[in-house]
Amino acid sequence: MENQNEVMSINGNTYSNLVASRQALIKVAKSTGDLIGNYATNLCSTFNVVDAEGNLIKPWYELKGKDRQGLKLERDEFVKGMTEAGYGKGTIDVYWQRVKEASGYETTGNRVTANETTDQKNAKDLKTIINRIFKAEEAGEECLSSEVKGLLMTAFEKLGGDVDTLG
């Protein structure tokens, strides 16, 4: 506490301004979550597809094509407003992502996945690697990976993969 009193007596108005700005930030930071939640709730109410009883059929963030037209206009207005407020694309995208998450969207890293075995995960990774090699070969690229592709395919098959699903 002595250090805080020292800072206050030495800096006077500067410290007072610091305290006021911290308190203002903390106050706004808390309301940001509330505001995002409120906006998300309204997006859900406006754009979610529901049945006659109000049961969710498809959330707004999964809409595609024609069904997405109104939502696209809303997103454009969101981007326009944020841009006019001085925010850049990165910040705008982060806030839109937060709104999606507040609406129930689960980002890939946060999704609960089925308990896959190490072998199943490795088979998936091998499939990705092998398909990458096929794609490079189709593009005319010469790579050392082509020389071990057969071994990788054997390992993929040994782990339960179906080589007919490759490529």
The arithmetic mean of pLDDT across residues 18-32, rounded, is 78
Report the Cα 112 to chain-centroid distance in Å: 14
Residue 1 confidence (pLDDT) above 50 = no
- Let me know: does 160 contact 123? Beta carbons within 8 Å: yes
- Let me know: does 80 contact 18? Beta carbons within 8 Å: no
Express as a percent the part of the chain with pLDDT over 70. 88
Report the Cα 5 to chain-centroid distance in Å: 44
Report residue 109's pLDDT band, with 50, 70 and 90 as the boundaries. Answer: low
Q: Which tokens in the block code for residue 90?
A: 């990165």
Q: Which tokens in the block code for residue 14?
A: 């500067």
Cα angle for residues 106, 112, 117 (degrees, 5° grid): 145
Strands (DSSP E) found in 23-92: 49-50, 56-58
- Structure pTM? 0.54
Pick the more confident residue, 24 or 126: 126
Residue 115 confidence (pLDDT) above 50 = yes
